[in-house]
Amino acid sequence: MKIETNTHEKNILRLAEEHPELVVLSADLGTSCEVKSFRAKYPDRYFTLGIAEQNMVSWAAGLAREGYRPFIHTFAVFEYRRVLDQVEMSVAYPNLPVVFVGFVPGITTPGGVSHQSINDVAVMRSVPNMAVFDVGDATDIDYILDIAYNYNGPAYIRQLRKDVPRLFPADEPVVFNRARVLSEGDDVVLLSSSICTEEAMRATAVLKERGVSVQHMHVTTLAPFTDPTIVDAIAKAKYGVVTIENHLKTGGLGSATADLMAEHGLGKRLIKVGLDGYAHGASKMYLMEKYGINAMKLVKAVEELTGKELNINNEDLQEVRFVDFLEV
């Protein structure tokens, strides 16, 4: 599996070149969010607003009102918890095209609970007018900025930085509000997002060997969440649905899927894999293991849905993993 480095940096520079009204705002974390070279190249289009996120969000609204296209860069956690009122009243209510690029989402940071955005999807999905995206690989990163730029309103991106695997072909674009089919099948539908897709791919490969037919779909657009291809897949699933996300089980991919199933009258079982509560500071691999956001947990969920003992162990699930995040 190919590991790509600083993919966001390349894309924000490309987009900035295409759109002279694009500006970047940061609250002292630009260098941690791959916009150091943007600042060097476009010093007049880079706002350092100090460690003061509330002012930054409303300031971005003022810029957007005048035709600029602000891309806020800081850690995901600081783009929804501390500034929710500013996000809602300054940006979302007037439907301004401000893009919130949120880095180190969920447990991809060892920074501990203050740095881990574990309910950001839940919160941002509940904000009217807001589009929510969760990227899972370098191809997602390649296309997501353009999708957010072209969205008619504010957008929130859970962005991955530094070393990120390329799981999907670089020439197969992300489609807005459409899941990417990674495996076809009709026993179980498996929906994954963010860093969990890599885990799900590992699980799917082994599950197939054991004769389970898995429809695996990677979800990048979490709001809106009305993808008819997901509805169709779930309608065909014999045993039910499993979701896995780098997020709390409440309000994220799993909850969105539950809503969709209920709205379409798809009375099947759903098993949500994700966090049950706050996490703590440690490496990503350790946290995924500790909180059960991994391939083995998916296997157990599929066993529960199908009622079959699959006899899959950790060795079966081993595969090349990408470099861990160690830096805050």
Partner 1 sequence: MDKKIYTTEEIQAIADSIRKQILGIALKTGGCYLAQACSSAEIVASLYTNVMNLGPSEGPGEPIPFPGVPGPDNMDYPKGALYNGAPAPDKDRLFVSCCHYASVIYSALSAVGRLCPEWTEKFNVDGWNMEMIGAEHSPGFENTAGSLGQTISIAAGTAWARKARGDSGRNFVMLGDGELQEGQTWECIQAASYYKLDNLIVVIDANGQQVEGKIEDQMNVEPLVDRFKAFGAECVSVDGHNIEEFEKAFETEHKDKPLVVIGRTKGYTGMKPLEKRWPFLHFVRIGKEDREEFQKIYDEM
Site string for partner 1, 115-144 (x = CB under 8 A): -------------xx---------------
Q: Candidates 3, 5, 31, 62: give the one binding partner 1 (CB under 8 A).
A: 62
Cβ–Cβ < 8 Å for 13, 38: yes
Cβ–Cβ < 8 Å for 183, 216: yes
Strand 99-103 to 69-75 pairing: parallel
- Residue 105 is encoded by which pair of tokens? 């989402």
CB 28 to partner 1: min, Å: 13
Sheet of 69-75: strand order equals 46-48, 22-26, 69-75, 99-103, 155-159, 131-134, 221-223
Q: Candidates 152, 171, 320, 326: give the one binding partner 1 (CB under 8 A).
A: 152
**Segment contacting partner 1 by CB under 8 A, of 57-65, 257-265, 268-276, 320-328:** 57-65
Considering the complex, state which of residue 51 and residue 170 has its C-beta at the smaller distance from partner 1.
51
Q: Candidates 22, 60, 191, 302: give the one binding partner 1 (CB under 8 A).
A: 60
Q: Candidates 3, 89, 170, 328: give the one binding partner 1 (CB under 8 A).
A: 89
**Segment contacting partner 1 by CB under 8 A, of 50-58, 169-177, 207-215, 276-284:** 50-58
Asked if residue 169 binds partner 1 (CB under 8 A), the reply is: no
Containing 12, the helix (H) or strand (E) segment is helix 7-18
* Most distant CA atoms of the chain, gap in Å: 61
For the chain, percent helix, then strand, then coil, each to nearest 5? 40, 20, 40
Q: Candidates 6, 29, 36, 63: give the one binding partner 1 (CB under 8 A).
A: 63
| Buried b / exposed e along 200-233 (16+ C-beta atoms within 10 A) | bbbbbbbbeeeebbbbbbbbbbbbebebeebeeb
101: DSSP letter: E
Considering the complex, state which of residue 59 and residue 239 has its C-beta at the smaller distance from partner 1.
59
Considering the complex, state which of residue 58 and residue 229 has its C-beta at the smaller distance from partner 1.
58
Under the rule (CB under 8 A), what is the footprint of partner 1?
Answer: 44, 49-50, 52, 54-68, 85-86, 89-90, 93-95, 128-129, 152-153
